[in-house]
Protein backbone atom coordinates (compact mmCIF):
# COMPACT_ATOMS: atom_id res chain seq x y z
CA UNK A 1 0.00 0.00 0.00
CA UNK A 2 1.18 3.50 -0.75
CA UNK A 3 0.86 6.08 2.01
CA UNK A 4 1.01 9.83 2.00
CA UNK A 5 1.55 12.48 4.61
CA UNK A 6 -1.56 14.66 4.72
CA UNK A 7 -0.54 18.27 4.48
CA UNK A 8 -1.77 21.55 3.10
CA UNK A 9 -0.57 23.68 0.21
CA UNK A 10 1.82 26.57 0.61
CA UNK A 11 1.89 29.61 -1.62
CA UNK A 12 5.18 30.43 -3.35
CA UNK A 13 5.86 33.05 -0.67
CA UNK A 14 5.30 30.55 2.14
CA UNK A 15 1.79 31.26 3.40
CA UNK A 16 -0.45 28.32 4.14
CA UNK A 17 -3.20 28.55 1.54
CA UNK A 18 -5.66 27.65 4.31
CA UNK A 19 -4.92 27.32 8.01
CA UNK A 20 -7.23 26.94 11.02
CA UNK A 21 -5.86 27.96 14.41
CA UNK A 22 -7.23 28.72 17.86
CA UNK A 23 -9.06 32.03 18.02
CA UNK A 24 -6.27 34.44 18.76
CA UNK A 25 -8.18 36.64 21.24
CA UNK A 26 -8.98 33.65 23.45
CA UNK A 27 -5.31 33.40 24.44
CA UNK A 28 -5.67 36.75 26.25
CA UNK A 29 -8.19 35.20 28.63
CA UNK A 30 -7.29 33.86 32.06
CA UNK A 31 -6.69 30.14 32.16
CA UNK A 32 -9.75 29.54 34.34
CA UNK A 33 -11.98 31.29 31.80
CA UNK A 34 -14.00 28.54 30.08
CA UNK A 35 -13.26 30.23 26.77
CA UNK A 36 -9.50 29.92 27.22
CA UNK A 37 -8.31 27.38 24.60
CA UNK A 38 -7.88 24.13 26.47
CA UNK A 39 -6.44 20.75 25.62
CA UNK A 40 -6.62 17.52 27.51
CA UNK A 41 -3.38 15.58 27.79
CA UNK A 42 -4.89 12.52 29.39
CA UNK A 43 -7.30 11.47 26.71
CA UNK A 44 -6.94 7.85 25.61
CA UNK A 45 -6.04 5.66 23.91
CA UNK A 46 -3.19 4.68 26.19
CA UNK A 47 -0.19 2.60 25.26
CA UNK A 48 -0.67 -1.01 26.45
CA UNK A 49 3.07 -1.25 27.17
CA UNK A 50 4.23 2.05 28.70
CA UNK A 51 0.72 3.41 29.50
CA UNK A 52 1.39 6.87 28.11
CA UNK A 53 -1.48 8.55 26.34
CA UNK A 54 -0.99 8.21 22.62
CA UNK A 55 -3.28 11.08 21.59
CA UNK A 56 -1.15 13.88 22.91
CA UNK A 57 -3.44 16.88 22.68
CA UNK A 58 -7.20 16.56 22.68
CA UNK A 59 -9.07 19.86 22.33
CA UNK A 60 -11.85 20.49 24.82
CA UNK A 61 -15.00 22.42 23.99
CA UNK A 62 -15.75 25.11 23.07
CA UNK A 63 -13.87 24.73 19.82
CA UNK A 64 -13.39 28.38 18.85
CA UNK A 65 -11.17 28.90 15.88
CA UNK A 66 -10.08 31.34 13.20
CA UNK A 67 -9.22 30.63 9.60
CA UNK A 68 -6.34 32.10 7.63
CA UNK A 69 -6.68 32.26 3.88
CA UNK A 70 -3.81 33.08 1.50
CA UNK A 71 -5.48 31.85 -1.71
CA UNK A 72 -9.05 32.86 -2.51
CA UNK A 73 -10.88 29.72 -1.41
CA UNK A 74 -11.97 27.87 1.70
CA UNK A 75 -10.45 24.39 1.61
CA UNK A 76 -12.59 21.30 2.15
CA UNK A 77 -9.76 19.68 4.09
CA UNK A 78 -7.63 21.96 6.23
CA UNK A 79 -4.74 20.49 8.20
CA UNK A 80 -2.21 21.68 10.71
CA UNK A 81 0.05 18.95 12.03
CA UNK A 82 -2.21 16.35 13.62
CA UNK A 83 -5.25 18.61 13.43
CA UNK A 84 -7.60 17.94 10.55
CA UNK A 85 -10.72 19.92 9.74
CA UNK A 86 -13.38 18.99 7.20
CA UNK A 87 -15.90 21.30 5.56
CA UNK A 88 -19.53 20.19 5.75
CA UNK A 89 -19.27 19.07 2.12
CA UNK A 90 -16.26 16.87 2.84
CA UNK A 91 -17.99 15.47 5.95
CA UNK A 92 -21.14 14.48 4.05
CA UNK A 93 -19.17 12.82 1.25
CA UNK A 94 -16.96 11.05 3.80
CA UNK A 95 -19.96 9.68 5.68
CA UNK A 96 -21.32 8.25 2.44
CA UNK A 97 -18.01 6.55 1.65
CA UNK A 98 -16.49 3.30 2.92
CA UNK A 99 -13.45 5.07 4.29
CA UNK A 100 -12.35 4.46 7.86
CA UNK A 101 -10.21 6.36 10.33
CA UNK A 102 -12.27 9.38 11.36
CA UNK A 103 -13.85 8.40 14.66
CA UNK A 104 -15.82 11.54 15.33
CA UNK A 105 -16.64 14.95 13.87
CA UNK A 106 -16.98 17.93 16.20
CA UNK A 107 -18.35 21.18 14.91
CA UNK A 108 -16.10 24.20 15.38
CA UNK A 109 -17.04 27.85 15.55
CA UNK A 110 -15.02 30.15 13.28
CA UNK A 111 -14.89 33.64 14.76
CA UNK A 112 -12.51 35.30 12.37
CA UNK A 113 -11.48 35.07 8.73
CA UNK A 114 -7.99 36.50 8.27
CA UNK A 115 -6.92 37.15 4.68
CA UNK A 116 -3.28 37.26 3.60
CA UNK A 117 -1.31 37.47 0.41
CA UNK A 118 -3.66 39.91 -1.31
CA UNK A 119 -6.82 37.81 -0.86
CA UNK A 120 -9.93 39.96 -0.56
CA UNK A 121 -12.54 38.85 1.92
CA UNK A 122 -15.38 40.30 -0.11
CA UNK A 123 -14.53 38.02 -3.03
CA UNK A 124 -14.51 34.79 -1.04
CA UNK A 125 -17.36 32.32 -1.28
CA UNK A 126 -19.48 31.86 1.88
CA UNK A 127 -17.61 30.32 4.80
CA UNK A 128 -18.43 26.61 5.10
CA UNK A 129 -19.24 24.99 8.42
CA UNK A 130 -16.13 23.21 9.61
CA UNK A 131 -15.65 20.14 11.78
CA UNK A 132 -12.63 19.01 13.77
CA UNK A 133 -11.94 15.38 12.92
CA UNK A 134 -10.95 12.89 15.59
CA UNK A 135 -8.45 10.76 13.71
CA UNK A 136 -7.72 7.15 14.69
CA UNK A 137 -4.67 6.61 16.88
CA UNK A 138 -4.83 2.89 16.34
CA UNK A 139 -1.28 1.61 16.83
CA UNK A 140 -0.04 2.41 13.35
CA UNK A 141 3.51 3.63 13.58
CA UNK A 142 6.45 4.44 11.45
CA UNK A 143 9.35 2.26 10.41
CA UNK A 144 12.12 4.35 11.87
CA UNK A 145 14.83 2.06 10.54
CA UNK A 146 13.61 2.32 6.97
CA UNK A 147 13.18 6.07 7.50
CA UNK A 148 16.79 6.25 8.75
CA UNK A 149 15.73 8.16 11.83
CA UNK A 150 18.44 10.04 13.68
CA UNK A 151 17.57 10.57 17.34
CA UNK A 152 18.84 13.41 19.48
CA UNK A 153 20.59 10.98 21.84
CA UNK A 154 22.32 7.83 20.65
CA UNK A 155 20.67 4.47 21.45
CA UNK A 156 17.40 5.87 22.75
CA UNK A 157 15.06 3.61 24.70
CA UNK A 158 12.04 3.34 22.45
CA UNK A 159 8.74 1.84 23.60
CA UNK A 160 8.13 -1.25 21.47
CA UNK A 161 4.47 -0.39 20.99
CA UNK A 162 3.98 3.39 20.82
CA UNK A 163 7.59 4.14 19.84
CA UNK A 164 7.77 6.86 22.47
CA UNK A 165 11.29 7.82 23.54
CA UNK A 166 13.01 10.55 25.49
CA UNK A 167 14.45 13.17 23.20
CA UNK A 168 13.55 14.37 19.77
CA UNK A 169 14.19 13.35 16.21
CA UNK A 170 16.98 15.10 14.48
CA UNK A 171 16.37 13.79 11.03
CA UNK A 172 14.93 11.16 8.75
CA UNK A 173 14.81 10.55 5.06
CA UNK A 174 11.39 9.41 4.02
CA UNK A 175 8.57 8.87 6.50
CA UNK A 176 7.57 5.25 6.05
CA UNK A 177 4.58 3.57 7.64
CA UNK A 178 5.40 0.23 9.28
CA UNK A 179 3.05 -1.94 7.24
CA UNK A 180 3.00 -4.67 9.88
CA UNK A 181 1.38 -2.18 12.25
CA UNK A 182 -1.12 -0.73 9.80
CA UNK A 183 -4.71 -1.64 10.72
CA UNK A 184 -6.46 -0.82 7.48
CA UNK A 185 -7.61 2.67 8.39
CA UNK A 186 -7.51 5.00 5.41
CA UNK A 187 -6.50 7.93 7.59
CA UNK A 188 -4.62 7.65 10.89
CA UNK A 189 -2.15 9.37 13.16
CA UNK A 190 1.34 7.97 13.09
CA UNK A 191 2.74 6.97 16.48
CA UNK A 192 6.30 7.72 17.46
CA UNK A 193 6.61 10.99 15.63
CA UNK A 194 4.46 13.93 16.60
CA UNK A 195 1.84 15.58 14.48
CA UNK A 196 1.81 13.39 11.40
CA UNK A 197 -1.43 12.26 9.79
CA UNK A 198 -1.02 9.62 7.11
CA UNK A 199 -3.52 8.51 4.50
CA UNK A 200 -3.54 5.62 2.06
CA UNK A 201 -4.06 5.59 -1.69
CA UNK A 202 -7.79 5.06 -1.32
CA UNK A 203 -8.19 8.20 0.74
CA UNK A 204 -6.16 10.18 -1.79
CA UNK A 205 -8.19 8.96 -4.74
CA UNK A 206 -11.45 9.60 -2.83
CA UNK A 207 -10.37 13.24 -2.36
CA UNK A 208 -9.41 13.56 -6.01
CA UNK A 209 -12.58 11.92 -7.37
CA UNK A 210 -14.74 14.26 -5.31
CA UNK A 211 -12.70 17.37 -6.12
CA UNK A 212 -12.18 18.17 -2.47
CA UNK A 213 -9.83 21.11 -2.11
CA UNK A 214 -7.03 21.94 0.30
CA UNK A 215 -5.42 18.52 0.84
CA UNK A 216 -1.84 18.03 -0.24
CA UNK A 217 -0.50 14.48 -0.33
CA UNK A 218 3.22 14.08 0.15
CA UNK A 219 4.53 10.62 -0.77
CA UNK A 220 6.40 8.81 2.02
CA UNK A 221 9.72 9.00 0.20
CA UNK A 222 9.39 12.75 -0.33
CA UNK A 223 9.14 13.79 3.28
CA UNK A 224 12.34 14.31 5.17
CA UNK A 225 13.75 16.26 8.07
CA UNK A 226 17.27 17.42 8.68
CA UNK A 227 18.03 19.29 11.88
CA UNK A 228 21.72 18.62 11.70
CA UNK A 229 22.83 22.13 10.92
CA UNK A 230 24.70 23.14 14.06
CA UNK A 231 22.94 26.46 14.70
CA UNK A 232 19.49 24.98 14.21
CA UNK A 233 20.36 22.06 16.42
CA UNK A 234 21.39 24.18 19.37
CA UNK A 235 18.20 26.26 19.01
CA UNK A 236 16.04 23.16 19.05
CA UNK A 237 17.94 21.65 21.95
CA UNK A 238 17.38 24.78 24.01
CA UNK A 239 13.72 24.77 23.14
CA UNK A 240 13.46 21.13 24.04
CA UNK A 241 15.16 21.66 27.40
CA UNK A 242 12.66 24.41 28.08
CA UNK A 243 9.83 21.94 27.55
CA UNK A 244 11.14 19.20 29.78
CA UNK A 245 12.31 21.17 32.81
Name the residues that contact Zn ion, by CB under 5 A: 47, 49-50, 159, 161-162, 164
- The minimum distance between CB 102 and Zn ion, in angstroms, equals 24
Comparing CB distances to Zn ion, the nearer of 164 and 189 is: 164
Comparing CB distances to Zn ion, the nearer of 45 and 219 is: 45
- The minimum distance between CB 79 and Zn ion, in angstroms, equals 25
> Dihedral of the CA atoms 40, 45, 46, 52 (nearest 10)?
-40
Q: How far apart are CA 156 and CA 151, in angstroms?
A: 7
Determine contact, residues 211/205, Cβ cutoff 8 Å. no
- The minimum distance between CB 191 and Zn ion, in angstroms, equals 8
Comparing CB distances to Zn ion, the nearer of 162 and 175 is: 162
Comparing CB distances to Zn ion, the nearer of 102 and 137 is: 137
- The minimum distance between CB 54 and Zn ion, in angstroms, equals 7
Q: How far apart are CA 113 and CA 214, in angstroms?
A: 16
- The minimum distance between CB 192 and Zn ion, in angstroms, equals 9
Q: How far apart are CA 29 and CA 60, in angstroms?
A: 16
- The minimum distance between CB 163 and Zn ion, in angstroms, equals 7
Q: In angstroms, what CA-CA distances link 48 with 8, 44, 162, 196, 212?
A: 32, 11, 9, 21, 37
Comparing CB distances to Zn ion, the nearer of 135 and 162 is: 162
Comparing CB distances to Zn ion, the nearer of 159 and 218 is: 159
Q: Tell the burial category of 162 from Cβ atoms under 10 Å away from its Cβ (0-12, 13-18, 19+).
A: buried
Least Cα distance to 44 among 158, 139, 183 occurs for 139
End-to-end CA distance of the chain: 41
Amino acid sequence: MKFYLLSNFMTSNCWHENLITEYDKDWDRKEDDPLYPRFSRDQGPFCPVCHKNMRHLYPLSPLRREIHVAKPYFGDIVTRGAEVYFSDRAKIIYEESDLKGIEKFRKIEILKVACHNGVRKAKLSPLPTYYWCQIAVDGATWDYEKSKAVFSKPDPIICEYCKDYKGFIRGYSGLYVDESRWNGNNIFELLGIGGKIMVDENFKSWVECNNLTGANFIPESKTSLDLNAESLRSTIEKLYDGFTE
